[in-house]
Structure 1
């Protein structure tokens, strides 16, 4: 509950918990911080909780848990007018995350010019599971190498009287390289592993029945996936997509659904999606399709480039497709 705060030009190392934490503050500037926070696996880099008018710039973060994490513990409050830019992040969890605490929400956030490497979970994770609102988010110029998951966007209902809202998000100019093995294997202090054998996880965009993620634009996205999926792990036939669990009340994480039936993007319960100039490539073959769309309305895809796998790569399931250009149609054999 402080105003007009400036933190700059510091080297900070190995706090007992989070490296920097601010709650219910306004006009906060964090600039040129070198932060190594790895004394324990649950060490976040920076946590910003329900603050307004925040700038985080020119920081180098090496954290045992999430790198830069926006949290919202207070209903009626939110993170509002947040600017994050020109930062380098290495994390044994997610590089930039909204949540998991998400009671009030996250509004009017711009994130740009971020370099991410050796990060176990998601490069970008946007999560509303406690009734909060995520809206008016602009993310651009993200370069992630050796990162376990590119994008994780989740609307759930873990807590709160009603589910929250996730809408009006624009993500562009993103490059991610996803490895086959664990990207943080050489860390001195690693976070919890995924506790089951699994194929490489795709990016996922998932709401819950009756509550869709709305108005999401993905533009100029390039992701290199490892492939090498095996049907011996947990094969989900395309005629049984409904067996992917909803898990409305569960902790949000890119691995939360278990095995997923797509290698590129898995999308469920969404309305108003635009994919423009998307390039997905595989280091090795993958038997799964690139895209699964389940309960999706108003889907637009243009300039989508996929490997020529000689099979159907876009699966539309219980989906209303109003705008699919010729390039997208040529990729799929059964629309």
Structure 2
């Protein structure tokens, strides 16, 4: 009997010790898990800081070349092509510096930047780009909707240059409107008249699509005169160390700021106020180490759209856009706040978005990913945090792998979308959907995480197809908790 009591006592003690041990291990595991989670979070956002640090500061020689000294006339009527080109040439020959545009209105054709030159617009200055289309010829190596071509020169253009900038407090006015450039998009609301030439005509986009399918070299894809493909506003092609700072863009023919195959790019304190067709604010494409900060976007298309080529041309170039930080920006009108696609065939990775506001009855989505099986491509490692959304029309987060504006676009290139993270997001009016996700059955969307997200007043909280279970942490849509 005594042995029985001793054994029972020993069992109880051992049981209690095991319980204490299990509780200790569990607490320790949770502690380690929390520490790992915090460490992972710090590591993720320290990556964004490291990208910004790597871009660094772009500096220029301390020399000034005023376009007025080269014959520029600030009457808004006289053509100043020669004054701009002479001032830029003199600055370049001197080893670089600042080409200054003083207060006044200056009409000009396209401006070509060279290495080590900062085109600086003083307060009160406005550059008006001529509506004479012949001024943008001969055709240069540029692009259209993610396809490389020879076409009308961008209004501001640089190819293969290093250390270039457009800065200051002045205005860049593309003078595109319903009487100039915009009608070529083919839409009545932008001035197109029935029967007039437009971009969808056989000799324009269909011909370009066929050239790409046939593997036609870029230098033989000649458009420009006799064609209706609009020029970009500012394009840097194959450039390194680019600064766009402080200036205002308005009345753009097409995409506004387009770093193409460029690296170490900073867009800081810029205002884009342009509501024409395809008037995206900033479109990094095939580009890496890009910092977009302190900007205001009020656009006719996506505010920021990260791209990497369209269909076969994107797969030919095969340069992903990566290591991109967007912060402290304000988005108003536009098809999307921060967007990836639709020209995305080479893929996008490592995108960081923080401390932005998005609010307009004419802002369709906050965060958007768009592709299809002709585009293919991938989107991975997207981190979004500390975003205030007042109002969107369609969705807070939209992922669409069936995107198409030229009819059905089905092919053999199944897109891959993974590791998309939203944290600390507040939305007052969520539009038609809180989340709208349409993946593919062959390859569902994976790794969607929402933490500390509150979406109010969404007509339909969720429409999710072909997506692995979403990780909800402290997330509420229309006062309903969606949590683990």
Structure 1 Cα separation of the partners of residues 367 and 354 of structure 2: 13
1:152-191 superposed matches below 5 A:
152-159=368-375, 163-178=376-391
2:328 pairs, out of 87, 98, 113, with 113
Is residue 2:281 matched to residue 1:67? Answer: yes
SS in 2 for 1:120: coil
1:259 corresponding residue in structure 2: none
Aligned CA distance change for structure 1 residues 281 and 125 (closer, same or farther; 3 Å): same
Question: In the alignment, is the contact (CA less than 8 A) between 2:248 and 2:270 conserved in 1?
Answer: yes
Q: In the alignment, which of 187, 205, 228 is matched to residue 399 of structure 2?
A: 205
1:292 aligns with 2:463: yes
Q: How does 1:26-105 map to 2 (within 5 A)?
A: 26-38=240-252, 42-64=253-275, 65-71=279-285, 78-99=286-307, 101-102=309-310, 103=314, 104-105=319-320
Show the 5 A alignment for 1:240-259.
Answer: none
Distance 1:105-1:148 versus aligned 2 partners, 3 A rule: same
- 1:5 CA drift (Å): 0.9
Q: Does 1:139 align with 2:353?
A: yes
Structure 1 210/131 Cα, relative in aligned 2: closer, same or farther at 3 Å? closer
TM-superposed deviation, 1:12 = 0.9
Instruction: Say which SS state the counterpart of residue 305 (structure 1) adopts.
Output: strand
Distance 1:14 1:144, change over 3 A: same
How many angstroms apart in 2 are the aligned matches of 1:226 and 1:107?
29
Greater RCO, CA 8 A, separation 6+? 1
TM-score scaled by length of structure 2: 0.46
CA distance in 1, matches of 2:416, 2:392: 30
Cα deviations by residue, 1:212-243 (Å, 9 ceiling, x for unpaired): 3111111111223365x6xxxxxxxxxxxxxx
8 Å Cα contact 2:248-2:272 kept in structure 1: yes
What's the counterpart of residue 339 of structure 2?
Answer: 125
Change (3 A) 1:108 1:226: closer
Q: Counterpart of 2:456?
A: 281
Q: Aligned partners of 2:342 and 2:469: how far apart in 1? A: 22
How far the C-alpha of 1:298 sits from its partner, in A, is 5.4
Aligned-residue offset at 1:295: 2.3
Which string of whole-angstrom CA distances, capped at 9 and with x for unpartnered residues, describes residues 71-116 of structure 1? 3xxxxxx201111101111101111111373523311101100011
Given that residues 66 and 93 in structure 1 are in contact (C-alpha distance below 8 angstroms), is that contact kept between their aligned partners in structure 2?
A: yes
Tell me, yes or no, if the aligned pair for 2:296 and 2:331 is still in contact at 8 Å.
yes
Preserved CA contact (<8 Å) 2:235 2:257: yes
Any unmatched runs of 5+ in structure 1?
Answer: 72-77, 181-199, 230-262, 314-326, 331-335
Structure 2 distance, partners of 1:328, 1:226, is: 16
Q: Label 1:13 to 1:293 Cα distance change in 2 as closer, same or farther (>3 A).
A: same
Q: Distance in 2 between matches of 1:54 and 1:280?
A: 33
Which entry has the higher C-alpha Rg, 1 or 2? 2
User: Aligned partners of 2:344, 2:351: CA distance in 1, in Å?
Assistant: 18
- Measured in 2, the distance between the counterparts of 1:55 and 1:125 equals 18
Cα separation, partners in 2 of 1:305 and 1:14, compared to 1, 3 Å:
same
2:421 corresponds to which of 201, 214, 217? 217
Aligned partner of 1:320 in structure 2 is none
Structure that is richer in strand per residue = 1
Aligned partners of 1:11 and 1:35 also within 8 Å: yes
Aligned to 2:162: 3
The answer to whether the aligner puts 1:301 opposite 2:472 as a matched pair is: yes
Query: What whole-Å deviation, never above 9, does each CA across 1:108-164 have from its counterpart, x for those lacking one?
Result: 1011000112x13111111154521200111111101102221211243334xxx32
Counterparts in 2 of 1:100 and 1:82: CA distance versus 1, 3 Å: closer
Q: What is the aligned partner in structure 1 of residue 195 from structure 2?
A: none
Aligned twin of 2:192: none
- 1:14 corresponds to which residue? 174
Higher helix share: 2
- Structure 2: runs of 5+ lacking an equivalent: 1-159, 177-230, 403-412
8 Å CA contact 1:54, 1:81 repeated in 2: yes
User: CA 1:15–1:298 in structure 2 vs 1: closer, same or farther (change >3 Å)?
Assistant: same
TM-score by length of 1: 0.66
Instruction: Say what the alpha-carbon RMSD is for the aligned residues.
Output: 2.5
Residues 1:265 and 2:435 aligned together: yes
